[in-house]
Structure 1
């Protein structure tokens, strides 16, 4: 049995990191990928962000709330990427 950490790291920081990476990935896909290929590349980027969410929470090293933290990171990333993709879709309709 391991001893509990005296000052555990903040679990929300890992979730926030995943959201920021999802934001950056969605912007990068929207800017650098041709319009016809945006949705497949957004799916690839989301898959990478979900794997990042697992990796960050495994690195965190606490078992309490693991599924909740991974789910929060993945769901937040899905919402962030969805809002950005809607913005790019509306921009494509207008222009």
Structure 2
């Protein structure tokens, strides 16, 4: 007597990526955008209002980071890429802001 067997689950079928995209290009691009925004704020904003404009620029850098990381089209590692993008942008803008603050202090002393 022949017993019919049901088809078992062998695991999911995975397709290899033919041309994997670079995942950290959006992170570096966000850092570059943050640096450009910080320099623009330093050049155009009045000295008394630079801190407020840096906060606005950081918000814009966050939106850019979100858009660039979504544009990569990869869901794997989205949160770590966003964290690296935003934290890196914060560090870049902080360093440039500190440089602008020191330049203002030195300029006022001279």
* Equivalent residue for 1:49, pick from 61, 69, 73: 61
Supply the distance in 2 between the matched residues of 1:44 and 1:67 (Cα, whole angstroms): 22
Q: CA RMSD in A?
A: 1.6
When the two structures are superposed, what TM-score results if normalisation uses the length of structure 1? Answer: 0.93
What CA deviation, in whole Å up to 9, does each residue of 1:58-88 have, x standing for no partner?
1111111000000100000000000000000
Supply the distance in 1 between the matched residues of 2:16 and 2:64 (Cα, whole angstroms): 25
Q: Compare CA radii of gyration and give the structure with the larger one.
A: 2
The structure with more helix, counted as a fraction of residues: 1
**Which runs of no fewer than 5 residues in structure 2 stay unpaired?**
1-13
What corresponds to 2:102 in structure 1?
A: 90
When the two structures are superposed, what TM-score results if normalisation uses the length of structure 2? Answer: 0.81
Q: Give structure 1 regions of 4+ aligned residues with deviation exceeding 6 angstroms.
A: none
Q: Per chain length, whose mean CA-contact separation is higher, i.e. which structure has more relative contact order (CA < 8 Å, sep 6+)?
A: 1
Matches within 5 A, 1:1-95: 5-95=17-107
Pairs aligned (count):
95
